[in-house]
Structure 1
Amino acid sequence: MPNRWFRHKADQFEQFATDIIMGRSEGTAAALFGAFLQVCSYLFSGIVQTRLWLYRNRIFRDEPLGCLVVVVGNLTVGGTGKTPVVEMFAKALRDRGRKVAILSRGYKSKAPPMWKKWWFWLNHTEEAPPRVVSDGERVLLDSEVAGDEPYMLARNLPGVVVLVDKNRVKAGAYAIKKFGCDTLILDDGFQYLPLKGRLNLLLVDKTNPFGNGFLLPRGILREPIKHLKRASYVFLTKSKGRRDEELEAMIQKFNPDAEIIECAHKPKYLKRIDSDEQVPMSFLAGKKIGALSGIAVPESFEAFLRNTGAKLGYIKRFADHYRFSHEDLKSVFEEAIAAGVEMVITTEKDAVRIEDGEHFPLPCYYLRLEIEILRGAADFDEAVGKICFPNGKPVNELAG
């Protein structure tokens, strides 16, 4: 009980801080805490730029692994729609005959108990291996142990190895040796400097490119905007089809050589959580629904639902990566029923954090999103070919 109370308070504080960073909160408390966070941002900026300088000047050294390494990441925390891009890249590379491994740090995954770590150290001379979420044939870990995104990727990508470890140099070497992988996708790896990518794909959310312009913890930036210059390609995500010339000019100012590929996250269908039922998005038109989410930018998800012609009669937001308990869901559905909604819709990323066997008093579906290229390539497969196979060169000639 004390642990649950502590987790609840921690999640409340995280949501409070997130609301301040995203400009959702006002008042004296928000202003004072915001000023404190701004001071911390200046300190964080100094640390970030010092670290990059050390790697750039080879005082700290990266470790090449002798195969193609594709880095997918962003300058900001959360909300750029990175997971569907990683999934589509892995799928396209796999379908072209590559043996692909996705390397993730497993954000907010459950670490192995300390006794297991000690037991391994006592009985082995080498480091503990990375957690194998998928060996390419089977999904071996659940979302709590693997982390939300790695589990979701493993579930959606048969034939692709998914590994979790904070040390992604070690995880990459393991993928090559154990599974014979020739292509590594470094998920959320733009700031992971020990493993150098030959290709750095930077995602920028068109709806909120750089937040308020401050670095963490006052803003959403992980590093300064000028570090756009480190990208090989820039993917503008969550586009509605209209060009943003000001944003593109900023990108070209800092990185005139980077090619820009514009894409949209398109809702494809709804999948019922407690059955195999799958329905088209048109199913929601005219219905009064509830929206349940625990993601960084819930506004985008809720906008998708409104655009179907549905009426949002109930909205419940939790902190990013929040792990729902049975009591949480019971309370949500009681409130949803009281609001008179016909069903509750959540995100695919949230759905993986709902325990198997959970029963709902209302139908509960998750929204499946996929990437659609709008500009810069005819489709995603062409984008992959353009980026990873220039001039038709095989992967082993592109290793770095």
Structure 2
Amino acid sequence: MGHALREWIEKVETYVLEVIVGERRGGWTPVLRGLLYGLSRVFGVAVRLRRWLYNMRILRDTTLGVQVIAIGNLSVGGTGKTPVVERFARELRDLGRNVAILSRGYRSRPPPLRQRLLNKVLLREDQTPPRVVSDGKNLLLDSETAGDEPYMLASNLRDVVVLVDKDRVKAGRYAIEKFGCDTLLLDDGFQYWDLRGRRHDVVLVDCQQPFGNGHLLPRGTLREPPSHLARASTIFITKSDGNTADLRAHIARFNPHAPIIECVHHPLYFEDVFTGERCGLELIKGRKIAALSGIAQPESFEAGLARLGGLLVYAKRFADHHRFTQQEVLNVINRSKKRQAEMIITTQKDAVRFPKLDRRDLPIYFMRVEIKIIAGAKDFNDYVRRICFLR
């Protein structure tokens, strides 16, 4: 996809998102909002119909004979899913499981258009093997080919297989046959119903924005209504502030049986994007910094820098999954210098999309984070062990 087309798509996405959350008013905005509401009613019917077709076995799912853990959410973007997937993969691996993470690779480079069209015209199954981001030993693809999250997971988990394919049944078979995997983690898999077996559904709920504005796509950010939490085996409240009694009660209305685990995103260290040098969290304390991000909820990231003592003098936000150009990064460097920033801080998810730079007048670091469980640790440990001993 060309840079100009990508930029246009991002502008449209940003505009629609501002309409959805109410940041834009006047003009044609009420008309567009009404249109989106109508489309969301149609979307809701489609979601319920699809679920009914699976329940009635009209649409058939597949069993591969291994453990399947689907980790996802009801809403789009910003729940902090990737660190939770990483935590599950690490715990399962440490308890002896041979783990593969299966991702659809959002905004990864798709197969050639000619090949995709030919498969559709001839009604034939795509025989292309899944993309192997990591074989459990080596990182084999770049972030543009693999997608941001799969590349980041493969970078952090060098001894876990990471595969990318829209067809995760095919990817699962490949993981079992080629790598001997006995546990499949479906990244963003709560709505992927083609793969069943011994399946566990883990659903993430963002403490700050649990159910968005309450509307389904495209009027809101919900992929499914909150009542579908009833399917969850375990529920994670992410970015918890500890004051979750009302949210827990709301969740219990839909699923009173699933254990609820609360977690926060815990910073570990800062790492230079280009040299790999690691520094402690005291790096930014009392120092002027700039923030650069292309994620769903940049406010949470920027607030985290402030909590670590950084003095934020400039922040530049791009659309979620934005692939930075060299000129864009250089522009951020120039503006940061004008504000007397001593360094630029970004996220690890953004760092994997950085271009090579001809000049680096300011050091650029990403903040490495992991999840820290603050409530329900015993439930989490018991849950992981139960998965591991179900052979």
- Normalization by structure 2: what TM-score? 0.94
Question: 1:329 & 1:375 partners in 2: Cα distance?
Answer: 39
Counterparts of residues 13-24 of structure 1 (less than 5 Å): 13-24=12-23
CA distance in 1, matches of 2:162, 2:356: 21
Matched residue, 1:212: 213
Query: Counterpart of 2:382?
Result: 386
Distance in 1, Cα, partners of 2:117 & 2:222: 36
- Describe the shift of the 1:23–1:269 C-alpha distance in structure 2 as closer, same or farther (beyond 3 A): farther
Deviations 1:137-180 (A, max 9, x none): 11111000000000000111011100000000110011001110
2-structure distance, mates of 1:141, 1:174:
17
Task: Tell me which amino acid in the other structure corresponds to 1:106.
Answer: G
Task: Report the Cα distance in structure 2 between the residues aligned to 1:3 and 1:152, rounded to whole angstroms.
Answer: 23
Q: Cα distance, 1:57 vs. partner?
A: 1.6
Return the letter of the residue paired with 2:389: P
Alignment partner, residue 44 of structure 2: 45
Aligned residue in 2 for 1:93: 92
Are 2:250 and 1:250 aligned?
yes
Q: CA deviation at 1:25?
A: 3.3
What is the distance in 2 between the residues matched to 1:271 and 1:22?
34
Equivalent in the alignment of 1:142: 142
Amino acid at match of 1:28: G
Separation of aligned partners in 1, 2:316 and 2:18:
15
| Alpha-carbon distance between aligned partners in 2 of 1:113 and 1:103, rounded to the nearest angstrom | 21
In the TM superposition, what whole-angstrom CA distance separates every residue of 1:272-319 from its partner, at most 9, and x where no partner exists? 111122112222121111111111111111110111122211111111
Structure 2: gaps spanning 5 or more residues: none
Kindly report which structure 2 residues correspond to 1:1-400, keeping only aligned pairs within 5 A, or say none: 3-114=2-113, 127-196=127-196, 198-242=199-243, 244-356=244-356, 359-378=359-378, 383=380, 385-390=381-386, 394-396=389-391
Shift of 1:4: 2.8
| Segment of structure 1 superposing worse, 347-356 or 71-80 | 347-356
- Does the residue aligned with 1:198 lie in a helix, a strand or coil? strand
Question: Residue type of the partner of 1:225?
Answer: P
How far apart are 1:357 and its partner, in Å? 5.5
1:62 counterpart letter in structure 2: D
Distance between the aligned counterparts of 1:31 and 1:290, measured in 2? 36
Does structure 2 retain, via aligned residues, the 8 Å contact 1:67–1:395? no
State the 1:33 CA deviation.
2.5
SS in 1 for 2:23: coil
Deviation, structure 1 residue 38: 1.5
Q: Secondary structure at the match of 1:350?
A: helix
Q: Which runs of 4+ in 1 moved over 6 A?
A: 116-122
Q: CA deviation at 1:20?
A: 2.6
Whole-Å separation in 2 of the counterparts to 1:27 and 1:246: 34
Shift of 1:129: 0.9
Structure 1 stretch 312-321 or stretch 26-35: which is displaced more? Answer: 26-35
Contact 1:323 1:353 in 2 (8 A): yes
Shift of 1:356: 4.4
Cα distance in structure 2, aligned partners of 1:31 and 1:295: 27
Unaligned segments of structure 1, at least 5 residues: none
Q: Distance in 1 between matches of 2:108 and 2:125?
A: 26
Alignment check: 8 A CA contact 1:267 1:367 kept: yes
Cα distance in 2 for residues equivalent to 1:241 and 1:323:
35
CA displacement at 1:89 relative to structure 2: 0.7
CA contact (8 A) 1:133 1:164 kept: yes
Distance 1:393 1:337, change over 3 A: closer
How has the CA–CA distance of structure 1 residues 296 and 125 changed in structure 2, closer, same or farther, with 3 Å as cutoff?
A: closer
For residue 377 of structure 2, give the secondary structure of its aligned residue in structure 1: coil
* Contact 1:274 1:359 (C-alpha < 8 Å) held by counterparts: no
**What CA distance in whole angstroms lies between the structure 2 residues aligned with 1:153 and 1:393?**
21
Whether contact under 8 Å (1:79, 1:296) holds in the other structure is yes
Q: CA-to-partner distance for each residue in 1:212-266, whole Å, 9 max, x for gaps?
A: 0001111110011110101001000001223x22111111111111110111111
Contact (CA 8 Å) 2:91, 2:384: kept in 1 or not?
no
Secondary structure class of the residue paired with 1:28:
coil
